């Protein structure tokens, strides 16, 4: 579960990755009528993402084509509104600044709805997730549960809430002189390299990311312990952008009603992560 710490405010320039799909000529006219005039005039929705986090957003080696659940859902939203979908890729700590400064319309990138983030953003919760520790199978004999990580090193994505989660869990289950050591490293590929080179013994990922990793590399990785901190990813908007938020919310309801949302979940083997209701700012604690 990729999640940015809220105090990080530096702004990096975005990388435009893809202009995806030609919008339908009309889309759903009733839904489109609820859009802010500036968005209708622009003819596009500008989505900010942070690559790479399969199966949510990624591209294959040597390709610039964007893939993943978030990408397909974003395209479906834009198409239903008669707009084109444009994607900007930024480093994860830059997601919030990108939206609150108006450089992007919304975030859709495995980004958790958190109470502290709701001071700057509004969320539409659209995906259930949770945190899991994992490692390569050569550690399976010695590391079976979270408690077996006491005194070990865990590689965690830089600037994410996984850092705090792993540290706090370690404090709650480990002796004070044998805590989990958390090292912050940007990408999943680097986490795996740290494990394979013996610099770390495990890493943290969202459940959907581990399922995808285990699908891509069968028999090489395993889950340590139970899923923790069950929560929701949200499409995030600047507080001042309530009109667009409401238009997207209504569009998601329409995509769910006609089965499009379920089809996209099934495409990536994520049916269990679907939500019954698209709640606005559903996280309350």
* Residue 214: predicted pLDDT: 86
Residue 227 has pLDDT above 90, yes or no: no
Q: Which domain holds residue 203?
A: 130-229
Q: Flag whether 6 is in a domain.
A: no
Indicate the pLDDT class of residue 54, thresholds 50, 70 and 90: confident
Q: Is 60 domain-assigned?
A: yes
pLDDT at residue 13, rounded to an integer: 55
* Pair (119, 164) in one structural domain: no
Q: Of 60, 68, 62, which is closest to residue 20 (Cα–Cα)?
A: 68
| 197 shares its domain with 175 | yes
pLDDT of residue 225: 94
Residue 10 falls within a domain, yes or no? no
Q: Tell me what the mean pLDDT of segment 217-229 comes to.
A: 93
* The two three-digit tokens of residue 141, written as one number: 């004999």
**What digits encode the pLDDT tens for the residues 113-142?**
999 999 999 999 999 999 999 999 999 999
Number of H helices, E strands in the chain: 9, 9
Q: Is the pLDDT of residue 10 over 80?
A: no
pLDDT at 199 over 60: yes
Q: Tens digits of per-residue pLDDT, 65-90?
A: 999 999 999 999 999 999 999 999 99
- Mean pLDDT along residues 44-49: 98
Tell whether 64 and 176 lie within a shared domain. no
| Same-domain check for residues 137 and 162 | yes
- 94 and 105 fall within a common domain: yes
At residue 85, the pLDDT reads: 98
Question: What pLDDT score was predicted for residue 74?
Answer: 98
Task: Give the pLDDT confidence score for residue 168 in this predicted structure.
Answer: 97
Same domain, 119 and 147: no
Range scoring the smallest mean pLDDT among 76-80, 82-86, 180-184, 227-231: 227-231
Does residue 282 sit within a domain?
A: no
The dihedral sign for the CA sequence 216, 222, 224, 225:
positive
- Is the pLDDT at 206 greater than 70, yes or no? yes
Helix (H) or strand (E) holding 202, with range, is strand 202-206
Number of domains in the chain: 2
Query: 3 lies in a domain?
Result: no
44 domain residue, yes or no: yes
| Cα gap 284→118, rounded to integer Å | 10
Q: For residue 281, give Cα distances in angstroms to 47, 115, 260, 276.
A: 19, 8, 23, 15
Flag whether 208 is in a domain: yes
Q: Which residues pair with 59 in a beta bridge?
A: none
Same domain, 243 and 114: yes
Residues 73 and 107 in one domain: yes
On the question of pLDDT at 12 being above 80, the answer is: no
Give the least confident one: 173-182, 204-213, 272-281: 204-213
For 62, other C-beta atoms within 10 Å of its C-beta total 5
Considering the domain boundaries, does residue 284 fall inside one? no
Question: Looking at the structure, do residues 123 and 263 belong to the same domain, yes or no?
Answer: yes
pLDDT greater than 50 at residue 8: no
Residues 19 and 117 reside in one and the same domain? yes
Does residue 208 share a domain with residue 169?
yes
């Amino acid at each position: 579960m990729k999640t940015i710490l809220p105090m990080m405010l530096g702004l990096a320039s975005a990388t435009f990755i893809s202009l995806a799909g030609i919008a339908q000529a009309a889309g759903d006219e009733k839904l489109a009528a609820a859009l802010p005039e500036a968005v209708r005039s622009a003819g596009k929705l500008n989505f900010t993402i942070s690559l790479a986090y399969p199966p949510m957003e990624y591209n294959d080696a040597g390709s610039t084509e964007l893939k993943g659940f978030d990408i397909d859902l974003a395209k479906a939203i834009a198409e239903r509104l008669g707009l084109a979908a444009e994607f900007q890729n930024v480093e994860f700590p830059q997601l919030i600044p990108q939206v609150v400064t108006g450089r992007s319309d919304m975030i859709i990138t495995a980004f958790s709805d958190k109470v502290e983030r709701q001071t700057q953003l509004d969320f539409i919760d659209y995906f259930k997730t949770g945190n899991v520790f994992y490692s390569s199978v050569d550690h399976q004999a010695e590391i079976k549960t979270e408690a077996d990580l006491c005194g070990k090193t865990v590689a965690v994505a830089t600037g994410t809430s996984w850092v705090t989660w792993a540290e706090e869990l370690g404090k709650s289950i480990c002796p004070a002189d044998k805590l989990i050591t958390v090292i912050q490293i940007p990408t999943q590929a680097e986490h795996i390299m740290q494990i394979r080179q013996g610099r770390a013994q495990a890493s943290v990922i969202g459940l959907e990311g581990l399922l995808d990793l285990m699908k891509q590399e069968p028999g090489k990785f395993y889950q340590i312990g139970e899923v923790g901190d069950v929560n929701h990813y949200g499409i995030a908007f600047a507080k001042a952008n309530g009109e667009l938020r409401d238009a997207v919310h209504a569009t998601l309801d329409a995509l769910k009603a006609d089965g499009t949302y379920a089809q996209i979940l099934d495409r990536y083997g994520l049916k269990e992560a679907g939500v019954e209701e698209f709640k606005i700012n559903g996280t309350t604690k």
